[in-house]
Structure formats: C-alpha cells, structure tokens
Structure 1
Amino acid sequence: MKKLCKILGLNQSLDDDIKVKVNSALKDEDIQYGRKVLKLIVSEKNIVTCIRTNTYQREDYKKGFTVAISNVRRNETSPFTYHKTLNYGDCIMEKRHARKSGIDEPVFLNTKGEIAEGATTNVFFVKNKEIFTPPLSCGLLPGIIREYLLHTFKIQEKIILPEDVTKYDEMFLTNSLLGIMPVRKMEQHVFESMTIGTRLSQELFQG
C-alpha cells in the first residue's frame, strides 16, 4: 500500500493512522471469526475502513467454483492492472453478469488472447501434480496468496491459452479473502480432480 501511494503520488502518512483504524475494526467479533471481512481504502484525503459480510461458504470449497471466459479483455499494458486500486469497474460488472448466468468467477484474457486472471482472483492450473500460473506479464494483479504460493511451492509461470485448459487435471483460484478455491468446471470442461487445490486450501486455513 505504501508503494502504491508513492506511485500514485498520494501524500498519506499510513503507519499510525492505519494501525489505529485497523486495530479498532479487528475488535469486531464477526471479523475475528471470519463471518465478516475488513476492507481498507486510502485516498489523498482519507483512510476508510469498511466491514462487510464474508460471502464465501464452506460448501463452495467442497463443490468447487464454475468459471467462464469473459468477453472483456484485460489490458496488460496498463499500469493500473498490476496494482490494487478502485479502478475495477470491469471486474464488478463482469462478476455481476457472470453470477446471473450461474458462473462463480469470470476469467479475463489479455489483449493477446492469453489467460490473465479472474475478476477477483489469480488463476492456477495443475498437470501431473505440477502447478502452473500465468506470469505477471500477461496482465494481472500479484495477489498476496499468489505470492505466498510462489515462494512456498515449486510453481512454474507459463503462458496459458484458453485452448490449453483441457490439457490440465485441475484448476484453482486464489485471493486473500477466499484463500484457495478449487475449480470444478471452466466453460464446458469439467476437471478430473480438485485434490491439490483442496489440499492446499486446507493447509492454508490450518496454518
């Protein structure tokens, strides 16, 4: 957050202000037990904490997500693609549109037709127990859980095209709220397994 404030030229002193606001919000029992989640927003004038209900349920992890390719393309040439800002109108609109069609998460391709990321997630694929994920150059947010997995496990960054998806045994999604979410189906392709995604998810929550 400090790095992004510097990039955007936001003159905010984060240390003390954020510590007070976050510590106050974390006293909420619903946040402590994961029923609600905390969101922190920083602007030139304000530091705002928002609390909302955690919509992810245990059943979601058992059945796995259903995902589909969005018609909207991710712009890998935009600097905003690589930072978490409020500039995510495409993600909100595509997420709403997907849910109306029974899709849990839309997946964006970049302008070259390569798989980039989900509307709110990073994407991973598994083949013969090896894990793959698109490189940052495909145009994606370097999420916290993505970075954790890359530093903890042997994961290969690889350009993946939509037509490659059927070659993989598994797929899973990550972000700091849902952790690691196994994917059951992408478009018409049903993955053979959710074993590794489920195991990593359980290990993350237990840790």
Structure 2
Amino acid sequence: MKIEFDDGYSFGKGAFETIKVVDGRPLFLDKHLERLKKSLEFFGISKEIEEVKILEYIKSSEEKNFALKIIVSDDNFILTSREDNYRKDNKRFKLIVSEVRRNSSSKMIYHKSLSYYENIMEHRLALNKGYDSALFINERGEVCETSFANIFFVRGGEIFTPVISSGLLKGTMRDFIIENYQVKEEIIYLDDLKNFDEAFISNSLMGVRNVSLINDIIFNEEDKTNLIQVDLKKYGF
C-alpha cells in the first residue's frame, strides 16, 4: 500500500467511512457512499469514488465478515479491513459524560473527517475510568453523541434522539432507525436524562446496543433496543 503525504496526512483534510461486511455483502453501502461524497465536496476534494473497486476489494478478501474502512484524501483512496469485534458480544454499555464540550458551530463535527483523534482520546479515557464510551454534550449542555455512536432515549414507549444541530454526525444507522421507527428529533439536555426509561446507541458496525448507565443515571429498560435488534438480524447484525 502506497500512501501519499498530502493534506490528509499533514492536516487531517479528508474523510472516511466504516462499513459492516456480512457474508461478502457491504451493508448500507449506498448510504455510506452518499455521505462520503458529501464530505468530499465539503473538503473540496474532487476524487471519484469507484464503487466497483470497493466491491472488487471485498470479493478478493479471504474473510467474508469484517469491517471495511474507506479513507479518502486529495491524493489517496485507501481500503483496509479489520475484524468486526461487535459480532462477539451484545453487552450493555456504560457511558461517562466527557469533559470536552462539542462546539456545535464547528462544521467539522458534521463530517467523518480524518481529524478524529479527539473521539479516540475521549473513548480511551472513558475505558480507563471503567466505562465503555464517552458521551459528548455541547457548549449549551445539549446531548450530542458518544465517541463512536449516535444515541437514542425512550420515554413512555416513544423514541427520542438529539437534533443534528446540537453537534453530531448524521450516522447511517441513525438514519435507518429514524426511517423505520417513530423517532422524535429534539434538543435533549443533560438534565433531561433522568426522565428517560431506556437508552441505546447505534453505529454501522454494532447496529444498536443498550445503555445501562450514564454517569450515575441508571436505565433499566431494554424493550425498544431488543425490538430493533431483532429487526436488524435479517441484515446480519
């Protein structure tokens, strides 16, 4: 693999996508490529994404179930694969609120850019404290997302999720849930969390996972999480 030392390497100018591959099938590939193309337009990167090359890479892989990563910058188009660790467990997640505040006015946070290390760093800090991931809130105290997933809450059988303008990535699995279930997109404040019965997170590899704890707030319910997980099984989650 040859990597060019362009602005993607030097300054994080570029975007990436992570796609779940099941039995040689890239799940929700169209949605991932649509988001990737929009991000490349945002960065001013005029590179054509050839879907046929992605499919050829998947077909040539000895493994049929894995996580595919697409990385694009001015002079690079890179495909890599790794084990899909989410296939191994269905644990409930414990989250801790990050001390870092999301800047909802930053255009960068609405793209899966190569400047991703803050998410990684906060995730590792959460792990070191005995939690499974970090939850970001913005400068106004509005809930955004975790270090690697979107988040949903349930109250009285209704599903809620933070609005995009709070400062979060428009996830492909988030889109799927909103399109297939009745979901209310609202501003959700940190102080509101104690009023919810259930919480779950979503991304393109895990599907959905239940949340049992955010700081000292306990969530006992799992009904909506279980319902969506059953529906996602037909896709290979």
The TM-score, its normalising length taken from structure 2, stands at 0.80
Aligned CA distance change for structure 1 residues 28 and 196 (closer, same or farther; 3 Å): same
Report the Cα distance in structure 1 between the residues aligned to 2:59 and 2:102, rounded to whole angstroms: 34
Once the two structures are superposed, residues 65-107 of structure 1 have per-residue CA deviations (whole angstroms, 9 ceiling, x without a partner) of 1111000111110111111111112101001111111211100
Conservation of the 8 A alpha-carbon contact between 1:22 and 1:49: no
**Counterpart in the other structure of 1:20:** 53
Conservation of the 8 A alpha-carbon contact between 1:25 and 1:49: no
Alignment of 1:1-207 (within 5 A): 1-15=36-50, 18-30=51-63, 32-33=64-65, 36-59=66-89, 61=90, 63-207=91-235
Report the Cα distance in structure 1 between the residues aligned to 2:217 and 2:62, rounded to whole angstroms: 41
Once the two structures are superposed, residues 96-144 of structure 1 have per-residue CA deviations (whole angstroms, 9 ceiling, x without a partner) of 1111112111000011111011111101000011000000110000000
Q: Which runs of 5+ in 1 are unaligned?
A: none
SS class of match (2:230): helix
The TM-score, its normalising length taken from structure 1, stands at 0.91
Report the Cα distance in structure 2 between the residues aligned to 1:126 and 1:112, rounded to whole angstroms: 22
Report the Cα distance in structure 2 between the residues aligned to 1:141 and 1:19, rounded to whole angstroms: 26
Aligned CA distance change for structure 1 residues 129 and 27 (closer, same or farther; 3 Å): farther
SS class of match (2:85): coil
Aligned residues: 200
Measured after TM superposition, the shift of residue 145 of structure 1 is 0.7
Measured after TM superposition, the shift of residue 29 of structure 1 is 4.3
Aligned CA distance change for structure 1 residues 26 and 8 (closer, same or farther; 3 Å): same
Report the Cα distance in structure 1 between the residues aligned to 2:46 and 2:188, rounded to whole angstroms: 39
CA RMSD of aligned residues (A): 1.5
Aligned CA distance change for structure 1 residues 81 and 190 (closer, same or farther; 3 Å): same
Report the Cα distance in structure 1 between the residues aligned to 2:182 and 2:58, rounded to whole angstroms: 36
Q: Which runs of 5+ in 2 are unaligned?
A: 1-35
Question: In percent, how many aligned pairs have the same letter?
Answer: 33
SS class of match (1:160): coil
- Could you tell me which amino acid in structure 1 is paired with residue 57 of structure 2? S
Report the Cα distance in structure 2 between the residues aligned to 1:21 and 1:161, rounded to whole angstroms: 40
Conservation of the 8 A alpha-carbon contact between 1:12 and 1:44: yes
Measured after TM superposition, the shift of residue 189 of structure 1 is 1.7
Measured after TM superposition, the shift of residue 205 of structure 1 is 2.3
Structure 1 segments of 4+ aligned residues over 4 angstroms from their partners: none
